[in-house]
């Protein structure tokens, strides 16, 4: 059903009634060509007057003629077909001939969503429409567009505004949103139980909140809102060139969600204002497994900001990314993850690992004048740390620090001091017996031990002993920085 202004509804009712009257007069002439038809005309006109009186009375109760508000509410395919016929929308609802709604300017304040489509599975194209519901209320009030249990709906070039939620998608499949702008006072996109949909080239103001959504694709979409962007119980989704900006929350929080892929995405979390001693996180994975994050940028704002955090998450891969935060990477209870070829900047601690096992930390580089600890590993074990460049700028800091962590392999790294004051301590700490700092080929490069190498075999002739009291040493320290 379409709800429109007082005058528009009267206009349409009059047109339909006049058409009906003409048809009845024609039929009367065909059936009784020799008879006077004034009686028929009078009856039809009286009927028309009664109909108009009823319509006007009903509209006077439902609408304020001064508001000129319009909204659309459709439930089911037949409702959609009926409205298409009544409104002159082209198309039959097939793949090759979708019903087209174009150029509408809908607006309503409060009440139900401005545009609502439910239980419909015909092919529908909504194009170049303005859909506005500024009410900031909850429970479907203040929703710009609602799509519930629908398939095959495409939205192109639309501007959708909701005081509470811009776009709400429930239990739907094969929805396409492209080239549009969506604005929500709290949530730009609220999505539950929906799959196999595509969002592209769309700017969304307001947070993302998605749950139980699988096999969706988002490309060149931006989210910018207050509070965290959340994906919960969402699996096998693809994100490319998507920006997740959040104020007073993580850029993106991935919870109980597996096998997602993020490529060329940006994640930024920041506190409101200066933030004091607080900090936000760019990307958080909690109980999330098997996901890949490649060629992305992650920044945590505020004094205690964190670029990316993995909590109780396993078998994820973060590769070729740029991370910025007081701590670039934070991992806790995160096993069998691959952290490789990332650039860590602006960090006091480059990589902070707690109770992690089976992780591969490979070919990462820390570039920060604030660095105190390059890599810190507390608890856990059986991790591989190789081919990284890790530094400290502090006279009392460490390029690598192991506390209570055993059975790790640390090979081919460069550990350097980039500060100006004199140091009296080793660049590494290991208080546990059982970590391997070298193999038969070589160990690591230590910036404060580069000679002697009398036989020019690339191996320093004396071991490099670490702090920590366990007697740990690199017995084959490298004379030159590994290539």
At 173-231, the pLDDT tens digits run 999 999 999 999 999 999 999 999 999 999 999 999 999 999 999 999 999 999 999 99
CA 251, CA 229: separation in Å to the nearest integer? 6
Asked if the structure places residue 242 within a domain, the reply is no
- Flag whether 184 is in a domain: yes
Compute the C-alpha angle 195/199/204, nearest 5°. Answer: 120
Percentage of the chain exceeding pLDDT 70? 83
| Mean pLDDT, the chain, integer | 88
Residue 3 DSSP label: E
User: Looking at the structure, do residues 25 and 107 belong to the same domain, yes or no?
Assistant: no
pTM of the model: 0.86
Confidence band for 330, pLDDT divided at 50, 70 and 90: very high
Which of 11-25, 120-134, 265-279, 462-476 is least confident?
11-25
Q: Both 170 and 80 in a single domain? A: yes
Residues 81 and 189 in one domain: yes
Q: How confident is the model at residue 6 (pLDDT cuts 50, 70, 90)?
A: very low
pLDDT for 136: 64
Asked if 50 and 97 sit in the same domain, the reply is no
Bridge partner list, 368: none
67 pLDDT more than 60: no
CA neighbor of 399 nearest in space, from 367, 368, 371, 433: 371
Same domain, 101 and 180: yes
- Statement to judge: residues 113 and 26 lie in one domain: no
4 token code pair: 């429109």
How many domains are there within the chain?
2
Based on the fold, state whether residues 55 and 153 are members of the same structural domain. no
At 180, list the tokens: 């549009």
Q: What is the pLDDT of residue 109?
A: 82
> Would 419 be classed as within a structural domain?
no
Please tell me the predicted confidence (pLDDT) of residue 272: 79
Final residue belonging to a domain, choices 43, 62, 81: 62
Segment 11-17 mean pLDDT? 48
Task: Report the alpha-carbon distance of residue 435 to residue 443 in Å, rounded.
Answer: 12
Maximum separation of any 2 CA atoms in the chain, in Å? 127
Which percentage of the chain shows pLDDT scores above 90?
Answer: 79
Q: Are 233 and 259 in contact (CB under 8 A)?
A: no
pLDDT category at 139 given cuts 50, 70, 90 is low
The residue range of the domain holding 58 is 2-62
Spatial contact of 305 and 296, defined as CB atoms under 8 Å apart? no
Q: Which of 37, 62, 87 is the last residue of a domain?
A: 62
Is residue 362 in a domain? no
pLDDT tens-digit series, residues 432-447: 989 999 999 999 999 9
Residue for token pair 């439930």: 75
Are 77 and 95 part of one and the same domain? yes
Is 231 domain-assigned? Answer: no
pLDDT tens-digit map of 236-270: 999 999 999 999 999 999 999 999 999 999 999 99
Q: What is the mean pLDDT of residues 132-151?
A: 82
**Is 341 among the domain residues?**
no
Residue 389 lies in a domain: no
- Is the pLDDT higher at 474 or at 57? 474
Of 204, 226, 261, the residue at which a domain comes to its end is 204
C-alpha span between 425 and 452 (Å, rounded):
19
Task: Please check whether residues 97 and 183 belong to one and the same domain.
Answer: yes
Residue 481, CA distances (Å) to 342, 350, 397, 439, 447 in order: 18, 19, 21, 17, 9
| Res 303: pLDDT | 87
Distances (CA, A) of 448 to 273, 401, 418: 42, 16, 10
pLDDT of residue 166: 96
Same domain, 113 and 145: yes
In this structure, the answer to whether residues 96 and 194 fall within a common structural domain is: yes
Q: 51 and 75 in one domain?
A: no
The predicted pLDDT at position 54 comes to 36
Report residue 225 as tokens.
């809102």
What is the per-residue pLDDT across 22-54, written as a single tens digit (0 to 9) for each?
444 333 333 344 444 334 444 444 444 444 433
Closest CA to 315 of 260, 248, 233, 369: 260
């Amino acid at each position: 059903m379409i709800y429109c202004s007082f005058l528009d509804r009267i206009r349409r009712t009059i047109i339909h009634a006049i058409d009906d009257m003409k048809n009845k007069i024609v039929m009367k002439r065909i059936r009784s060509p020799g008879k006077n038809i004034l009686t028929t005309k009078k009856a039809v006109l009286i009927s028309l007057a009664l109909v108009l009186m009823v319509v006007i009375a009903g509209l006077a109760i439902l609408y304020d003629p001064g508001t000129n508000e319009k909204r659309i509410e459709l439930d089911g395919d037949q409702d959609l077909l009926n409205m298409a016929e009544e409104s002159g929308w082209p198309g039959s609802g097939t793949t090759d001939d979708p019903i087209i709604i174009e150029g509408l300017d809908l607006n309503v304040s409060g009440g139900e969503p401005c545009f609502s489509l439910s239980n419909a599975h015909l092919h529908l194209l909504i194009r170049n429409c303005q859909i506005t519901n500024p009410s900031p209320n909850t429970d479907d009030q203040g929703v710009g567009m609602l799509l519930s249990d629908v398939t095959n709906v495409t939205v192109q070039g639309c501007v959708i505004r909701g005081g509470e939620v811009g776009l709400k998608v429930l239990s739907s499949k094969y929805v396409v949103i492209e080239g549009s702008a969506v604005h929500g006072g709290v949530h730009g996109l609220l999505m539950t139980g929906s799959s196999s949909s595509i969002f592209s080239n769309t700017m969304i103001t307001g947070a993302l909140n998605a749950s139980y959504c699988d096999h969706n694709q988002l490309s060149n979409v931006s989210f910018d809102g207050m509070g965290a962007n959340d994906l919960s119980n969402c699996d096998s989704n693809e994100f490319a060139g998507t920006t997740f900006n959040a104020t007073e929350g993580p850029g993106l929080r991935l919870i109980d969600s597996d096998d997602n892929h993020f490529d060329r995405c940006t994640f930024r979390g920041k506190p409101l204002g200066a933030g004091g001693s607080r900090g936000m996180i760019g990307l958080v994975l909690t109980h999330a497994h098997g996901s890949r994050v490649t060629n992305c940028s992650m920044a945590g704002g505020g004094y205690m900001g964190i670029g990316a955090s993995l909590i109780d998450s396993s078998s994820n891969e973060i590769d070729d990314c740029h991370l910025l935060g007081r701590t670039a990477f934070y991992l806790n209870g995160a096993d069998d993850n691959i952290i490789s070829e990332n650039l860590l900047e602006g960090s006091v601690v480059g990589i902070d690992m707690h109770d992690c096992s089976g992780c591969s930390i490979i070919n990462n580089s820390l570039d920060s004048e604030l660095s105190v600890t390059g890599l810190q590993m507390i608890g856990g074990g059986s991790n591989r740390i190789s081919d990284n460049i890790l530094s400290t700028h502090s006279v009392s800091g460490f390029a690598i620090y192991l506390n209570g962590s055993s059975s790790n392999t640390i090979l081919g790294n460069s550990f350097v001091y980039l500060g100006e004051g004199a140091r009296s301590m080793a660049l590494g700490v290991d208080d546990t017996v059982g970590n391997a700092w070298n193999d038969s080929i070589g160990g690591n490069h230590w910036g404060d031990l580069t000679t002697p190498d009398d036989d020019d075999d690339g191996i320093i002739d004396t071991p490099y002993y670490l702090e920590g009291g366990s007697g740990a040493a690199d017995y084959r320290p490298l004379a030159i920085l590994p290539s």
